[in-house]
Amino acid sequence: MTSAGYDLAAEQAVIGAALLAPHLMADLAAVLTPGDFGRPAHRVLWEAMCAMHAAGTPTDPITVTAHLADTGDLGRMGGAPYLHTLTAEVPAAGNAAHYADIVADLAKRRKVAGLGAQLAQLATTGDDPAELLAAGRALLDGAQAPGGWPALIPLGQARHLPPFPAELLPGWLGDHVHAVAEFTQTPPDLPGSLALACLSTAAGGRAEIEVRGSWREPANLYTVVVLPPGSRKSAVFAAMVAPILAAEKALIEQTAPAIIEAELAAKVAGKAAERAAITAASADASGRDALIAEAAAAAMNADAITVPAKPRLVADDVTSEMAASLLAEQGGRLAVLSPEGGIFATIAGRYSGTPNLEVFLKGHAGDLMRVDRRSRQAEHVDKPALTMGLAVQPEILRDIAGMPGFRGLGLLARILFALPENTVGRRKIGADPIPTQVAEQYHAALTALILSLAEWTDPAVLVLTPDANELVLDIERQVEPRLAAGGAWAHIVDWGSKYTGAVVRIAGLLHLAEHLRDGWGKPINADTLTRAAAIGDYYAAHALAAFDDMGADTATRNARHLLAWIERTTTSAFTKREAFRATQTAQIKTMTDLEPALAVLETHGYLRQLDPPAPKRAGGRPPSPSYLVHPDVHRPAATVHPITARRAS
């Protein structure tokens, strides 16, 4: 170690090893930055080699010599002979990591010495002691970052989200979710969230959970999964929704005779009322009053005959008005299940020009709703139960945040969001199909649940065991501080205020799925509530990410997209041109669109740009700027969800 605080031999050895074995550059560049070298010439040389590595150019002695000659830096290095000296002085290229550790350790020691001087200088100022301590902590945090990197500044909530915990579902349901995810090579979040929406379709309006006192939660949910185009959403919907459509067909066949009989009775009664009215109108004054009374009775009899509506469980892309009409027609029960998110634009007034959220607000809460029927007088739906299970593209998620009333009136607060990791580009070819037994069991179980509850007019009331109710109280105690000003959920207090109710609804659906034919006669136990709370933890993490994404600007969203590529490919260095080719989307159409995203990642400490390369002498296209990736990007901390963690403890 020299008096300058660096080890010349170690620096020469690590650079020489990289020259002799260019394949070592990826690991060495992740450990050492140009600033870690004590000798100025080594800093310039290492920066040039890192830039070459990021551009995919080998760092052998001949190529590096030519590069330095092109940039005019060869003389500053001591010429080509010095590069020969570096390679000749390497004891063993295989020990490069050891040499790098020596260089990095000495760099840290120089940094500590400099830090001491900075702290001593701070102490001589007249600043407030608290501010001095804060400044000192900031300096220490920076000094502790690996390789001279600054500490990472979190880029929102969208990274490292937990996968859907399908293992918490009843066996017949969880098995099908896993099988569908495997066969379609989609994240389990999509079939998992759809599974809950399918349970909600079966039980919505037919069951409600009594928590305590007058607090009751209906057993219906709104779930929205966010995935880009080409994610096989339609295939997953087909596999998950098929039993509902089959059950709907069976119900139509069952009610067909009753519908035909009622239509015929209504037609006969109507004709009888017409004849009675004609007879009364043509009668003389002496007998007219009695005939009028008979005609009135006949008319009332005809009007009293109700023709049952053809059963309908699922709608797709419906208007708000049509959804309200169908809810009234179907006794207040309906599901909107779609692999697209066009319904949001419809709700926002795509056709009418006026947003109409009432049916979707009241349909979730179960509040009394007045519906103007097209063929009859207005009707009241006492307890509407609407289910929503959608898969939307990321652009739609961002659009709905700005749609009038969606946030302010509380529609977004009612949605359980899922933002799974995109598997496109990493899917297994020739994945195993859904096992026949698994598919048949799922079909039979869901159909049984639908048909067993189809005839219920008043909802069954599910109660909690005392232990389950205590768990609900525990969730309330943990959630409440999060909603306070400055709390973790303060910025999504509208969503967080409905969190406990959502967990209770999930528990009710899990309970019914476990007791397909007699769930209404059994209380919801603590185990079911615990599993529902764990699923609630999953949706809480994804809700934070969803609202964070909806509120983010374009540069931040594109930065997350770029960061996802870096994490997925585990790249430690890249050029701007490489990043653009890999992340080009509808939002990143040009290299210029990528620049703000790169700047965001640099500001947050994820990237470090090497010195801009010099243009080629012959007038060709200049080399693309190169970036190094913070080593901690590929060492993510494990995510622990606080509510589940505290409950487990």
Give the count of alpha carbons within 13 A of 182, CB side only: 13
Residue 158: pLDDT above 50?
no
**369 with 459, same domain?**
yes
Which of 258, 259, 301, 305 has the alpha carbon at shortest distance from 276?
301
Question: For residues 547 and 549, what is the distance between their CA atoms, to the nearest angstrom?
Answer: 5
Quick check: 573 and 26 in contact, CB under 8 A? Answer: yes
Residue for token pair 């990528």: 594
Biggest distance spanned by C-alpha atoms of the chain: 132
Residue 165: pLDDT above 90?
yes
Quick check: 113 and 1 in contact, CB under 8 A? Answer: no
- How would you class 374 by CB atoms within 10 Å of its CB: exposed for 0-12, middle for 13-18, buried for 19 or more? exposed
Number of neighbouring beta carbons within 10 Å of residue 588? 21
Question: For residues 472 and 491, what is the distance between their CA atoms, to the nearest angstrom?
Answer: 23
* Amino acid 639: pLDDT: 40
Instruction: Give me the mean pLDDT over the 620-624 stretch.
Output: 65
- Compare 145 and 310 and report the one with higher pLDDT: 310
Residue 121: pLDDT above 60?
no
Task: Say how far residue 184 (Cα) sits from the centre of its chain.
Answer: 19
Quickly state the pLDDT bin for 33 (edges 50, 70, 90): confident
Quick check: 641 and 162 in contact, CB under 8 A? Answer: yes
Give the count of alpha carbons within 13 A of 26, CB side only: 6
pTM: 0.65
Quickly state the pLDDT bin for 3 (edges 50, 70, 90): very low
Q: Is residue 171 domain-resident?
A: no
Q: What is the CATH number of the domain that holds 225?
A: 3.40.50
**592 with 455, same domain?**
no
* Amino acid 426: pLDDT: 85
Question: For residues 568 and 639, what is the distance between their CA atoms, to the nearest angstrom?
Answer: 17
**202 with 297, same domain?**
no
**288 with 397, same domain?**
no
Give the DSSP H/E element, type plus range, for residue 71. helix 61-71
Token output for 463: 């109660």
Q: Which of 133, 148, 163 is the last residue of a domain?
A: 148
Q: Is residue 497 domain-resident?
A: yes
Q: What is the domain count for the chain?
A: 4
Q: Which of 102, 127, 148 is the last residue of a domain?
A: 148
- Compare 638 and 451 and report the one with higher pLDDT: 451
Query: Which alpha helices (DSSP H) does 305-355 contain, by range?
Result: 320-329, 342-347
* Amino acid 612: pLDDT: 58
Q: Is residue 154 domain-resident?
A: no
pLDDT in tens, 83-114: 878 887 788 777 888 888 898 888 878 777 76
**334 with 283, same domain?**
no
User: Can you count the helices (H) and strands (E) in the chain?
Assistant: 24, 13
* Amino acid 390: pLDDT: 94
Specify which of 66-75, 279-288, 354-363, 381-390 reaches the highest per-range mean pLDDT. Answer: 381-390
**495 with 563, same domain?**
no
In which domain, by residue range, is 562 found? 554-634
**204 with 292, same domain?**
no
Q: Is residue 649 domain-resident?
A: no
Q: Which of 497, 528, 550 is the last residue of a domain?
A: 550
Residue 4: pLDDT above 50?
yes
* Amino acid 545: pLDDT: 86
SS3 content of the chain, % helix, strand, coil (to 5): 60, 10, 30
pLDDT in tens, 318-332: 888 888 888 888 888
- Compare 224 and 107 and report the one with higher pLDDT: 224
Residue 247: pLDDT above 80?
yes
Residue for token pair 């049984």: 448
* Amino acid 288: pLDDT: 80
Give the count of alpha carbons within 13 A of 197, CB side only: 34
Q: Is residue 209 domain-resident?
A: yes
**412 with 473, same domain?**
yes
* Amino acid 618: pLDDT: 54
Q: What is the CATH number of the domain that holds 53?
A: 1.10.860.10
**How distant, in Å, are the alpha carbons of 276, 359, 383 from that of 378?**
28, 15, 16
Say whether 148 sits in a helix, a strand or coil.
helix
Question: For residues 109 and 118, what is the distance between their CA atoms, to the nearest angstrom?
Answer: 14
* Amino acid 372: pLDDT: 67
Instruction: Quote the mean pLDDT of the chain.
Output: 83
* Amino acid 611: pLDDT: 62
Mode of pairing for the β-strands spanning 385-392 and 333-338: parallel
* Amino acid 648: pLDDT: 42
- Compare 311 and 149 and report the one with higher pLDDT: 311
Mode of pairing for the β-strands spanning 207-212 and 215-218: antiparallel
* Amino acid 191: pLDDT: 97
Q: What is the DSSP letter of 454?
A: T
Residue 139: pLDDT above 70?
no
**451 with 526, same domain?**
yes
Token output for 506: 């999930």
Instruction: Give me the mean pLDDT over the 197-218 stretch.
Output: 93
Q: What is the CATH number of the domain that holds 573?
A: 1.10.10.10
Quickly state the pLDDT bin for 613 (edges 50, 70, 90): low
Q: Is residue 213 domain-resident?
A: yes
Quick check: 386 and 380 in contact, CB under 8 A? Answer: no
Q: Is residue 162 domain-resident?
A: no
Say whether 204 sits in a helix, a strand or coil.
coil
Q: Is residue 370 domain-resident?
A: yes
What crossing angle do the helices spanning 40-54 and 61-71 adopt, rounded to 10°? Answer: 110
**517 with 567, same domain?**
no
**240 with 118, same domain?**
no
**267 with 138, same domain?**
no
Quick check: 631 and 30 in contact, CB under 8 A? Answer: yes
Say whether 356 sits in a helix, a strand or coil.
coil
Which of 423, 392, 398 has the alpha carbon at shortest distance from 226?
392
Task: Name beta bridge partners: 418.
Answer: 225
